[in-house]
Structure 1
Amino acid sequence: MTVERATTYHNFLKSWVEGLTVHHPHTLNHAKRPNVHVVFHIYDFLLLFGPVISWWCFPFERIIGFLQKINTANHIGGELEGTLTKSFLRGANLRRWLRRSDCPEIIKQFKAIFDRAFAPQSERAGTSPPLVRDSNHAHYMFNGTNFSCALMHLGNSLVLYYPSTSASEPIAGSIEKIISRGDKTSFIIRCQAPLPTGQFDPFLRYYPYFPAQTYSTKMQNTTDTVHPSMILSHGARFEFSEDRAVVLNLSRS
């Protein structure tokens, strides 16, 4: 996050607020709400904490949703919280005991199994092991990110990638096949067709800091075969007309 990008956000928001009553005069009669004032403070948070994706509350909302689905059998008001706390402490104490120098050797033999079963997802994430024989993958994990063939999971197949080692700009595409030959794995990707010459892309002109680009809704007739390391990130695709689709870069870098 740069001061320039944060300032651009502030200026766009200011322009929207100033034009609100001009283009929608009836809003003059509405009660004033704090929302508009609050969103101006996002400018300060951008400078303090960086891009919104780094500090938004969706992960915490997900945890709250998970906790709300736990069957409490009407045991609330302290009993549920105590049970969760005790379970966490038991797990923490067990991990601590397994790391002790005087832990029996036979127990240490089970530590690897225990870690694989109960380690956080971030610790288990890595790269899928090679297949026993040459074949195709339905899914493939690379550096903690899961990719899929389009026929298995379209969302996980949409990526932005570099079609060659000399390419300087990533392009959008969809993974058609994930093939393993020996210890090497490659993605066969069908590229999203670009807009026809002369077509206008509003994102490039009016939203230079928003990582989106307009493509054709059609796919190219040719494919690229690339190593997983040439994938920049997943992408999100939305077809907003019969011949146009917008692709959003989901990279956090």
Structure 2
Amino acid sequence: MSWWCFPFEHLIGTPQKINTNDHIGGMMEATIIKAVTHSANICHWLHQPDCPESVRQLKPMKGPRHAHAKWDSVNFSCYSMHASNTTIIYRPSQTERPIRGQIQDIISISTSNEFTVQLCVRHFECLSKLLYDPFVHYPYLLATTYSSELQEKVDAINLDDIVAHAAHFNYSLDRTVLVNLSRD
């Protein structure tokens, strides 16, 4: 629960989409392996320096928006795609202390001759002083209660500004518990 299964589903779906020409038995496996080999050879050729530039330009280009971004071997996604991989702990600037937020969008920004990935993040409101945080007595759990409301202001951050991946659970109408999933 709360883990992204898309890579596994994608892996299972790929062989199902291969055209087998209605062959069964040994002929079907041969057809599948030929299709996989052909696509792998084409992909390899497109990455070679001797591939003509006109063919290289025919490769599909991604738009400015992304469904996910990988950083420090952790996969992050925007809230509209997969809510479980959106909660992070980040620093909007080097001088500020880390805050908890939710990724709303992932976009590519063109700077001079390269592309950089930026995350559009809204951070969680602090818990009202009138509400009790039951996790305050367990500092080693790395869990903190916040308001379930997100601020309207959107911070545009780079992947380097991420301090840790986090998990969140809305356990009441106005409270959310956030757990730091840092490996350190």
TM-score bucket (shorter structure)? 0.5 to 0.7
Q: TM-score, normalised by structure 1?
A: 0.45
Which consecutive residues of structure 2, in runs of 5 or more, have no partner in the other structure? 1-40, 45-59
Residue 144 of structure 1, aligned match among 64, 73, 80: 73
Paired residues, what number? Answer: 124
Over residues 24-68 of structure 1, what are the superposed CA-to-partner deviations in whole Å (9 max), with x where a residue is unaligned?
Answer: xxxxxxxxxxxxxxxxxxxxxxxxxxxxxxxxxxxxxxxxxxxxx
Residues 49-128 of structure 1 mapped to structure 2, 5 A cutoff: none
Name whichever structure is richer in helix by fraction.
1
Q: Does 1:231 align with 2:159?
A: no
1:248 and 1:199 mapped to 2: Cα distance? 18
Match of 2:142 in 1: 211
Moved over 4 A (4+): 131-134
Over residues 194-225 of structure 1, what are the superposed CA-to-partner deviations in whole Å (9 max), with x where a residue is unaligned?
Answer: 11234332222x11221010001111111111
CA contact (8 A) 1:134 1:181 kept: no
- Bigger Rg, which one: 1
Taking only aligned residues, the RMSD between alpha carbons, in angstroms, comes to 2.2
1:250 and 1:159 mapped to 2: Cα distance? 9
Match of 1:190 in 2: 122
2:132 and 2:125 mapped to 1: Cα distance? 15
1:164 and 1:134 mapped to 2: Cα distance? 27
Local SS of the residue matching 2:172: coil
1:154 and 1:148 mapped to 2: Cα distance? 8
Q: TM-score, normalised by structure 2?
A: 0.61
Local SS of the residue matching 1:155: helix
User: Offset of 1:133 from its aligned partner?
Assistant: 6.7
User: Offset of 1:189 from its aligned partner?
Assistant: 0.4
Residue 175 of structure 2, aligned match among 244, 248, 251: 244
Which consecutive residues of structure 1, in runs of 5 or more, have no partner in the other structure? 1-109, 114-130
1:139 and 1:241 mapped to 2: Cα distance? 28
Match of 1:34 in 2: none
User: Offset of 1:134 from its aligned partner?
Assistant: 6.0
**Amino acid of the residue matched to residue 180 of structure 1?**
S
1:209 and 1:146 mapped to 2: Cα distance? 25
Q: Does 1:171 align with 2:171?
A: no
Local SS of the residue matching 2:165: strand
Match of 2:34 in 1: none
Percent of aligned pairs with the same amino acid: 37
